Each structure stands twice: as structure tokens, then as C-alpha cells.
Chain A
Amino acid sequence: MGFFRQHILSIVAFWPLAGMFVLMILPKDNKTLIRWWANLVVLSGFLISLPLWFWFDRDSTESMQFVERFSWIKALGADFHVGIDGITLLLILLTTFLGPLAMLSSWTAIENRVKEYYAFMLMLQTGMLGVFISLDFFMFYVFWEVMLVPMYFLIGVWGGPRRLYAAIKFFLYTLVGSVLLLLGILALYFIYPTIAAQHPEQFAQFGGAAPTFNILAFQAMAQYLPENFQWWVFLAFFVGFAIKVPMFPFHTWLPDAHVEAPTAGSVILAGVLLKMGTYGFLRFSLPMLPNATVHFVPMMMTLAIIAIVYGALVAMMQPDMKKLVAYSSVSHMGFVMLGMFALNPNGLNGSIVQQINHGISTGALFLIVGIIYERRHTREISQFGGLSTVMPVYATIFLIMTMSSIGLPLLNGFIGEFTIMMGAWQANKWYAVVGGAGIVLGAAYMLWLYQRTMFGKNENPANQKLLDLNWRELATLIPLIIVAFWIGLYPAPLFKILDKPVNKLVETIHPGYFKPDAPQNAKIQHAAGETR
């Protein structure tokens, strides 16, 4: 147990990869065996990641926990260095939680080249977990890029009719972003020894002026970086992460990739891959380049608001259910960015919680669309109507998830959006006002979708004998519903986990933010006093 506890992050991350190697030697024609094996691997992967939740010390003053570190490429100073804080704890659990559900949803949907499919799914799982646990920038970059390959294949081999186009677009877009990200990383890497040499006492714990990719060392360097330098690195990071999020105007790959990807691919893509972009901002841009972050707030907020409104408007007009959900992702990720660049505790907390929520509700919506697609082989909204009569359970779950996506109180979406709105209001009330309009639009397109597909008369003969959910489909959706209600009713554990890292982040960006006499706090306390 001691060994497990010490190496839990590596074990959690490489478990799916190990499972993949075993999968490779299974006979190709025994599809049932392959399916069982892959599902068992990710399910056990989820189970072995659960101790993280219990062992994670919420009150620890250490910035990272479960740290493991080995020397990897000595010539570069790159290490195998992993560790997590509250932010990554949640993202890792989201990944290991969505993995089994996505895997289970493909049981009957994937019929050809089953072995390869599951191999790529397992590889993808390791890639995503690797991104979140890396504390070494080089290692992070390797995982960040490696993960593109399995996703490319999932879209390109098992996708819809325009899969080749969508797959290459996905790959090229992301790659262009990531190579610029690499240049940003290199710029930090080369400035580090100079800065560390000037301030030996601060950097002694990171090994002094020796070249390193240590993310914590780069974060410690933030206050010494020249303003101008920060801007350029911020822009390089921005392209890399904004494409992944995706922020307007870099979002055009997303609808294509989502629509063409198989259901499980879309779930992972929306649920986890997009979070890698926001995670990049949280972990790198904000703490490493605080001055540039503050400087670019207007740009980021504007882009976030455009994404919210534009994504919602485009979603409203979509004739295809999956495309609608895809554009809703653009809108929701706009909220995440809005909260993040409010740069105050509420905004950041809400932003992170909303990332989890988006993974859950959008993941569920993609599963829901996938279920109807498997039955009818179409996703045209006009093909459906009155499904609630033949598929009552399906309709109920769809309703819950629609409400979760809209942000109805008692469900998870509300918690995230509300906290984000508080943060945005504190930063600048106009951001909150326009963002609020986005919530209304969000309600409009989701409810309209629900109304058109579920209510009315079931007139299309093809829809009259549709079967309701089977046990397997229920098993993929019920866990999501439970979590949606849990976060909606009792989100305190999440906020507790986020408390330390978020406060630290705010302190880096606005030094002295939590001092009682800080200007923005005086105003807030004044306001709070009045309401009291």
C-alpha cells in the first residue's frame, strides 16, 4: 500500500496504457473479450484513482501533493515530475470518471476494427491523464502532443462521412497551436537560468540556475519576468490554449470534429480535451505571466463574451442535434473563460467547477444524442418529435441533462454559472450583464431542442417503435445524473478542494488581494455590510 500511495499518480496515468499493451495481444476476432477487457481496464482505472480524493490533503500548505520525481533527460534538465493540486485533482477524477462511461457507450456502436478502437481509447486516456499530472513542462508537452494521435484516429477511422476532413482539421489546428506553445515554453526555459542566477536564494529549492522545465520554478519566476517578455510568451501560450478551449475565433475545428467523431470520441473531446486548454491557462498563463494576464484581460473577456453569445446563436440555428451540442460547448467554454479572467476567487472557482460541470452535462448530452443516433442513424432534429411517448426514461434523462446544461438550480450547471457571474460582476458588471444574456440564449436553444424532439406528436413512423434505454445505456447515464445532482445540491467539497490553489493563483496575479485593506475588498466588504 505504501508503494501504491507513493506512486499513485503514475499508476493511475499509466494504467490504461498498460491495459493497452495487454489488449494488443488479445485475439483480434474475439470482440467480446476485447470489449470486456477495455471496459475493465478503465473502470479499474477509475477505482484506483478514487483514493486520490480521500488521501488528498485539503489543508496542506504544500503547493503540490503526491509528488514523484525522477531525472529523465539530463542534458535538458527535463524530469519525470508529477504532482497534483486541487485543480488537477478534479480534472483527473473527471477524466477517470468519464473514461469508463465513454468506453461503455461504444459497446454496440463500434463494430469494425474493435481492437484498434479500444487500443486508441486506452492510449488517449493515458495521454490526457499525463497532461494533467505533469509538473515538468517538457513532459507536459510530450503528453499534450501524443494525445493528438489517438484522437486523430478515433475521428478519422470511426467517424462520420466527413471524418477525414474533420480529423486532419483537428490535428492541424491543434498542432499549430502547440508548436507555438513550444516556443513559449522555450523562451521561459532560456530566461530561467539568468533570472535564477540573479536571485539565488529564491531559486535554491529548484536547483539554482541549472536549466529546468520545472513548472513550479517557472511559476516562482513570474514576478521577475519583464513585462514585454511576458506579453510575447502570453500570446504564444494563448494561441496554443485558445485553440484547444476553443475560444472564438479559433473554434471552427470543434463543430467538425464533434460531429464526425464517434459518440465516445465526442464525450472525451468535450468532457476532457477542451479542459486541457483551460487548464493550460490556469496552470501556465495565469501564474507564470501575471502581468501579461492582467494586461490582456479586456481581450480575453471580449473573446469570451463573443464565444458565449455567438456560440449560443449559432447553436440555436443548427438542424443537427450533435452540432447543436457542439456549438453549445463553444458557448459554455466561453463562460469558463469569462470566470477565469475575472481573476478573482469567485470567478476562478466558478470557472473550474464549470469545467467539471461542462464535462458532465455535455458529456451526457453527447451520449444522449449518440443513443438516438444508434437507433435511427440520423441526428436531424426535424426527423424527431414526440419521443417522450415511446422513450419515457430517455426523455426524463434528457430533460435532467438539459436542465443541467441550462443551469437550473439544484443541478450542477447552476452552481458553476452562478459563481462565474458573481466573479464577473465583481470584475466588471458589464461582463456579467452580457454573460447573463448568454444564459438566456442557452436556455432558449436547449429548451427548443428538447421541445422539438421530445414533445409534440410522434408522427414519423420510423420513430414509433423506438426502444427505450437498455441497462447498458442507463449505466452510462445514471452516474452522470448522480454527479450532476451531487454538485448541484452540495458543492462545498469542490470549493473546499479549490480553495487553496485558487487563492494562491489570485495572490500571484493581484499581490495583496486578500489583505483586508485592499481596494477591491474594501468595496466588497462595504457592500456586504450594507446588505447585512
Chain B
Amino acid sequence: MIDRLVPAAPLLPPTAAVAAGIAAGSWWAIPPATLLAAGALALLASILLAPRMPRVALTLVLSGIAVLGALRAAPAPLADDHLARRAPPRSVTVEARLAQEPVRWAPDRTRLLLDVLAMHAGPERLPASGRVQITVYGEIAARLGEGQRVIVDARLHPPIGYRNPGGFDYPAHLRRDGILLVGNARADRLVALAPDTPPWPVAVKRWAVSVITARLPETSGALLAGLLMGERSQLPPESDEAFRRAGVYHILAVSGFNVALLAGAIFAGLAMCGVPRRGAAVAAAAALIGFALVVGGQPSVLRATLMGLLLLAALLLDRESQLMNALAAAALALLVWRPGDLWEPGFQLSFAATAGIIYVTPWLAAILTERGWPAWLATAVAVSLGAQAAVTPLMLAHFNQLSLIGVVANLAVVPLAGIATMLGMLALLMELLSSALAALLFETLWLVLVVLRAMVSIAAAIPGAMAHLPAPAPVVVVAWYAALGLAPPAVASTRARVVVEALAVVVAVASIWPWLSPTEGMLRVTFLDVGQGDAALVELPDGPRLLVDGGPGGARRFDVGERVLAPFLWNRPVRRLDAVALSHWDIDHSGGLAAVLRRFHVGEFWESGRPPSGAADTVAALGRSGAPRRALAAGQRLWLGRAMVTVLGPATGPPVAANDQSLVLRLDWRGVSLLLPGDLGAQGEAALLGRGGPLRALVLKVAHHGSRSSSGVPFLRAAQPLIAVVSVGARNPFRHPSPDALARLEAAGAHIYRTDRDGAVMLETDGRVLRVTAWARGTTDTFHLADPENTTAPG
């Protein structure tokens, strides 16, 4: 296969070598000097060996190139005046330039990317450098735009993210963009130093967005902005979700599709008006460069533009164009320019989909045509299938999404999106000439956009349109791509066919494995890192699963349910939760449950029976999920598989503060006991002690994130926990956990784990040995429960 592919795409092996080098370089930190020496050695050896052993020399050259890739990816040392080098004070006044247009992601929240120019300390102005991302709260008085200089008082800190198994590494993502510090600021502490005079590409983009918003109603306008410029920020979440479910989200990103339409239209249009071919090609190339500057530098845009330019150059030079080679050239250029992009989903998806279309589609189309399909249908289906096959492992790895309807939905949606894109470009052009005619074009466009949205909604509404599956193991990914690469030659060669079949078996078995491997007779309790809030998953050895609280979430804030809980559960893999318990309705416990109720089958919803306050999204999701609601009260006992759940609170009685009415659960399994008191405060603890329920427990979830008023001495004396887990967010405004509460826990003899420092805290026990893993630290502590001082009898 390689011998066939390389003559057509000579740039493919060096590009793959660079990518491999970048990947290896980020896994193993090898000193640059060693790398340099190894690379030089490999290249020298290859020069000597080239005449006699060309194959060996080739291998050496490629490893030399890989070393170059690794060197390129090695992090550059920070400048002396980099902000991250100074221990940043709590609040710092920085003078900076906006690196991109402000992103307004909620009514009073704006995200700014700043290139720091200087730091002000009193009257002093110290030169400084570095890139920071800040969120500004409130209405910003000045109009801000890319390139503008501002002074802002900001609180800066290193990014943290949510540190859970299989979770998204937010700090690494930011680091790849050169962002080492994030922070926040108040809108009234931001001053613009210069008027907003954006560079021309930004001005063009703003003009286009303003025309679209003026001419089209909101949702359709937002869709067109996505189609034309990849500008999705205004798209309502329902539409966003529908496009994902239907597997057609890619049309909302600028890609080869837009570039091909733009270049094709200009080229054909000019050619039709009698412009010579070369002139038309030059004009199309100029338009492409302008387009790329306007829509910005996402990997998919750059990939498509580079490929488009190469193909147009081939046309100009009367050379035959090789798509695969153009793709490799684009990848090489991007990787050399921004090596970190290799890890970005946008980069991976864009290149994989294009490679799939170039490599797999012709073979698939040939097969379908042989079976008697009409040529147009065969090509359309083959394009859709080829792209889908190439991106499937990536979509699963990054988003746990497998669109089952996508192949079919694309057949209808892509042509319509093409029409809408062409019409949109035409209408924007027309706006410059005659606004009356442009208005008519926008009317037609509206019709097309509504039909397009209707098709997407229908596809998304089909049950099972999208499956959520765990991220594939590396072996599955490798086997999948190897099988895909060998599939076309397998038509001719029996040996290749056997290999493909074997690989398919590997993929199938390794994909099914996580569903079959049970919990190995272990009780597992995972206190997830959900920032400031609570969420704990209890998995019993015989199958049942209980989720207690869901962390913060809901509309217009970071939705932990959608972004942290759901991926964690999909990766587990969990599809069904036998019960979801909610301690009380505060948003840092209930908010994330909205997404859980929407996305997972929930057997029962346990609550304290107190009326909901706030958390409207969760209440609505609960109503729609159809999960039976069960109001629990002190004294009840329930079986969850072989574990017994005892309800310790709340008791009926005069109403007290919401926290003190938290649902308090106790779980017993084989002598291991777990106490989950929600946000119980002093009053609630006193009531609990008064009722005299069994309180002694091996593991205690510390009440109310370690607040001062919880975890009183009498309560801890009764509970005597061996392990105490504080579920709390770093730098939370409530100053949780309080040093007092931590001291009381320490005095009670508990081993304390904290999600703000340890990330997810994972407990695993078979009843004799308890292992506690602090995910962010990567450490595991083992406790032998047989030791007399460690045992706790269920009360």
C-alpha cells in the first residue's frame, strides 16, 4: 500500500514523521541537546548509507525528521518578563492588546484574549509579556475589538480545569495557545486606551455579521453566520444540539466545503465572463486568502485554504494535482507553524475527514457503482461514508459521540448547505451593489435556511440518531485506521483481506470489552471534581449505580452535567443510573443533574421532598425524563443491589434552613459504610444526633464543602470516619473548606481528601482493603480494613 501511495503523495511520510515526533516529544521529555545529537546522527548516517542501503537510509531520514518535529514541539522557554514567571499578586493591573475579537458568551460575561504589554505597579510601568485569557463581568462601556489596547485590573491565576478520569485537559489546551494564566475582571475596571480601529479582515467580518443580523431573524441568521464564517456563538443551544445529533455539525465550521464553493464560484464565474483560465485562478487564489483572513485561523480553515491554493497553483502551472499530497503539504505547514494543533479536535477531524474522502471514497464509490448504483448517488454516499469512517474514532475519543444518522442526513443537508452558502455569499456581495435586490436574495435564503433547519431537526429527532459510547482504547484506534488503510488494496489481495478481517475482529472485541468487564467484586465510590459543588457516583459490585448530586450547571454557566458528568459516565461506560439522589436543591448540587436526566436513563429520583428553589432546568428535565420521584424521610431503608441505604434525614418537623434539610444517606455494604450528609449544618447535625441514627462510618463526605458551621465535634465523634472527602472548588468565593473544620476532622483522626487539590477522589474496596486514589496527584493509598483501628461496624 505504501509503495503505491508514496509516488502519488511524496510528502506523506515526512508529514507523518513530524506528527509522530511531535506526539513522542510530548510524551517523553527528552532534553533538546540529546534530541539534537540524535537527529544529527541519524541524518549523517543516512547520507552515508543512501547509496548502498536506500531503505535503511529512508528510515533514518524519517527518524531524523521526527526528531525535528519533537524539537519543534518542545516548549520554548518563557521570556524573562513573562507574567507567569512573577508570582502574580491577587490583583494586577495590566496593559494589553486584544489578540482577538471579544467573545460575549452570556449577557454580562465577555471573554478577552490579551497579549500583555506591561504591568502597572502604582506609578511604575514594568514591561511584561505573556498571553492571558480573562472573563469580564458586567457591561463593558467601551466598544472593544481585535488589536485594541486596554488597561484592566484583573485577578490572574493558572488554569485548573476539572480533573477527572478521561476528562478534558483544559490547562493543556490553553497552554497550546500560549495561555498560562487565566483570570477575571470587572467591566468597570477596564479602560480602552485607543479607539476601536479593527484591521480590515475584522471590519469585513463585522460588516457581514451586521448585514446578516439585520436581514434575517435570529436563529436563521445565526445559522448563516455559522455556514459562511464558522461563527456559531449566536446559535441557540437547541439548534447546536440538533446539528450534533444529526451528525452534520461540520457544516457549521469553515472547511474545504466553503473554500471549494468560493474558489469554484469565482473561477467558474470569471471563466464564464471570458476571463482566461490563469487570470481566473489568480483571482480565486486572492479571494481564498482574503476569505481565510476574514474568518480567522482555525485549523480547518487553514487546511482548506492551503489545499485550495496548492490546487490552484497546479492549475496555473499546468501540473496534475495530487489531492493526498496537497493534504500532506497542508498538514506539514500547519504542524511546523503550530505543532500543538496536532492535539486539537478541530485539526484532527479536519484532516481525518479529508483523508477519508480522498482515500476511501474512490474505492467505496467503485464498489457501489459495480452494484448498479447510479454514479451520483454512489459518489455522494461514498463521500459521506468515507468521511464518517475516518472521523468515527476521533469523535468517540473527544466527544463520545457516534452519529448513526449522519451518513444519511449528510446526503440531504450538505447540498442544501451548499445552496445556502452560495446564496449567502451572493447576497452579501449584492448588498454592496443594491440593497433592494439583496433583500430579495435574503428572503429566498431564509426559506432555504428554514428548510435546512427542518431537515436537521427531523434527522436529530429520530430515536437513536446518536449513540454515546466510551472513548475507544488506543488499540481500537490503531486497528481501525489500519483496517481502513488496508481496505482498498484488500479488494485485489487475499492476504490483505485476511488482515483487514483480523483487524475488524480486534476492533469489535476491544470495543465490546469495557461493557463486559464488571467492577470485579468491588464497591467503587467516585467523588468527582466538579469545582465548587458535590457529585459522587456509587457503583456496587453487582451492578446498581447511584449518583448523589450533580454539581453546578444549567444555562448561562459552565454546565458541569454536560461537560464533566456526562463524559465521565459515558467513558465508564454507564448508560443507566438505578437511582439519582439529590441532597437539596442548591444549584451547586442540582444544576448538573439536568444534563444527566436528559442524557441517561434514570431508574428513580430520590429527594428530600422539599420544594425546588431555583434550578429550573433540572426541574424541567426531571419532568421530561419521566423518572419516578421518591421523597425520602428519616427512618426509611432501601436496598440497592446488596447494599443497604438508610435515610437519616431529613425528619419531618418545623422547617429549618434548606441546608439543614439535606437528604442524609448512609450506605452499608460488607461492613463498609459511607455517610453522605449533603450540605448539613450545625442545626441539622444536632437533629441527626438527637434521632440517634447509626452515624459511625468508614467514609464521610464532609458536609457543606467543609464549611465552618458543619462537621461539629459531637457529630465527628459519632461518625469517627477513617476517610473524609471534601468536595470543594479551588479558589471558591466562600473560602471553603474552613481551616477550623479541617482541624476538627484531623483531630477526629480522619484521612482528608479534597477535590480542589486531589481532583477526583476514587475509592475502591472489596470489604477488606480500601484503596483511595487522588486522580490529579496520581497517588493511591491503601487501607487494610481488618486492622482493628480501621474497622467500623454498621451502626
On whether the two chains bind one another, the answer is no
Chain A residues with a Cβ under 8 A of chain B: none
